[in-house]
Amino acid sequence: DGTLVVEAYNLRALMKVYADGTVDEWVADIKMAGPNGLTMGPDGTIYVIDHKDGGLFAVSPAGELEKLLQFPKSTSHGVYHDGGVFVTSRNGFVVYRYDIETADVVIIAGSGVEGAADGRGAEASFGRLNAITLGPDGALYVNHGGEEGINPVSIRRIVHKP
């Protein structure tokens, strides 16, 4: 219907932006410390990635909020793909996969130590991870960089085969 859902970080809320330009608060909850990333599953569930506390939330199409888990370090963004939500950890220097059906969480890439090494799984290292998206080739793409103003941001390709 043309409605967008956007996060309102400091308001701890999700807003609906309708096709006519009007904006309404849709979901607001103190449990969300800093909603920063959104992705939608095939059933219309919106997954909210909370930057401040590392939480992962599910919001049903009816607007019911449920906290699914707490990652050990702050997170940034996420993307749905193939039954899971892939989440970047900005300060954890890893990419997680949360399995929607089983609630299992695994690190699919990153050593947990800041760096810029290519490699498989834990052999890879990242700077401060931020955005993640799914490419047309089925690979995940993340952007990461070092300290602000020192290292440029770079794009990395991750191929995940469970």
Q: Are 48 and 41 in contact (CB under 8 A)?
A: no
Phi, psi of 9, rounded to the nearest 5 degrees? -50, -60
Residues 6+ apart with CB under 8 A from 158: 95, 108, 109, 124, 139, 140, 141, 142
DSSP lists the bridge partners of residue 129 as 144
Of 138, 135, 148, 140, give the one whose Cα is nearest residue 124: 140
- Maximum alpha-carbon separation in the chain: 48
Written as tens digits, the pLDDT of the chain (162 aa) is 889 999 999 999 999 999 999 999 999 999 999 999 999 999 999 999 999 989 999 999 999 999 999 999 999 899 999 999 999 998 899 999 999 999 999 999 999 999 888 888 999 999 888 889 999 988 899 988 765 555 555 767 777 766
Distance CA 97, CA 14 (A): 23
Give me Rg for the CA atoms of the chain. 16
DSSP assignments along 37-51, one per residue: EEEE-TTSPEEEEET
The pTM for the full model equals 0.90
